[in-house]
Chain A
Amino acid sequence: MKLSKVEELKLISRCVLVDDRRAFAQLVEAYQPRLRAFLLNLTCGDDYLTDDIAQETFIKAYYNIRSFKGLSQFGTWLYRIACNQYYSEMRRCREAELTGEVNADVLVQNTEQTVAAKHDVQVALRELNDLDRTIVTLYYINDLPAKEVARILNINVNSVKSRIVRARKKLHDVLA
């Protein structure tokens, strides 16, 4: 389900003005496939983590929809929330790893996934750091321009460009 710009704005204003849950559900329905696909690539195929982060993203969007000024696209705004949510989740996981609070099941699951991900491209993506992987996913897989990527991640365009060049070199070695 793809919404036109006008339909999208109508739904957002209904959410803001009268807390219309059906309008918000329509927004979720329209954006969830793209957002989940994006997060699935960021999490290297972890379905559970993807769904968790995607749900949190939409809930945060609901709470903060009044702060959406319409200066950027709603999708861009959602991607930004998703990225922040993903980074905080990764930070939390790393802290848990350091303090030894990592669930054994998660480790087993991750190991299985690592074994399953035999494909070189996936391995190359895994080797990139979180920010570079986000940039590569948005730029190469979601086909967003560097400007849009910079807007989503709230960083300088030149920084995005230099990171793309660096990531391209790494990927090129693997893909060649």
Chain B
Amino acid sequence: MKRKEEDKKIGEKLKHSAHEAGENQYFTRRVMNRLPDSVSAGAPSWLIGAVCFVAFLLSLVFLVVQIINFKSDIILVKDLMLIGTNIAISIALLIALICRVLRYEW
């Protein structure tokens, strides 16, 4: 449906006399206050953070154990790969932990 010249005129007149909503800076706060309390407020974030922390500690322990065992004369590719994987996992968990902590502060 194309707007005719008459439509445009009516539109202009209606817009001219239309009510304008004044700024209501408390509106958003009022809406947010009326929302229900979250039943599991913070629980998933806390749980994920805790899991990340424990996993990070475990991966660090494994990494230390691997590095201690690494002090041998023969370096195996298998050991290198294991240490590499462990370092990658530790870094990933550390990043996840940092993200968690930063999200709390935002």
Q: A interface vs B, CB < 8 Å?
A: 18-19, 21, 24-25, 28-29, 32-33, 36-37, 40-41, 44-45, 50-51, 54-55, 58-59, 62, 119, 121-122, 125, 136, 140-141, 143, 145-146, 157, 161, 164, 168, 171-172, 175
Contact = CB atoms under 8 A, between A and B. Distances in A.
Task: Classify the secondary structure of B's interface with A.
Answer: helix
Contacts of B6: 168, 172
Interface stretch (B28-36, B55-63, B75-83, B87-95): B28-36
Size bracket, chain B contacts: 20 to 34
B18 A141 contact: yes
A157 B59 CA distance: 62
B27 interface: yes
Given A19-B38, A29-B28, A141 B1 contact: no
B73 interface: no
B14 interface: yes
B10 interface: yes
B28 A164 contact: no
A133 B31 CA distance: 26
Contacts of B15: 140-141
Nearest to B22: A47
B71 interface: no
Contact of A36 (B16, B27, B44): B27
Nearest to B16: A121
